[in-house]
Amino acid sequence: MARKMENKDMSEGNMGMDMDQTEMKELMNHLQNHVMYPASKRTIVESCNKMEHVPASTRTWAEEKLPEGTYMSADEVVMKLGM
């Protein structure tokens, strides 16, 4: 079971990119509920059939922005993405 992430302020100013609330929620849901931690960048990006439930533009943004590495929690991924 994936570790849960603390609730973050998801206001427009804290998104890290020009992403709407629906896109942000899908990405957060993926990170919180569909990834087993610890996880590599590759594992995060490829989980859930390559994040097919996350909008394509958001997937691309996350894949480009997330540095290579192993992440211990969804919170750590969110921090690295600047969300």
Domain ranges of the chain: 35-83
Give 41's pLDDT tier (boundaries 50, 70, 90).
very high
Instruction: Assign 21 to helix, strand or coil.
Output: helix
| Averaged pLDDT of the chain | 80
Q: How far is CA 63 from the centre of its chain?
A: 9
pTM over 0.85: no
- The length of the chain in residues reads 83
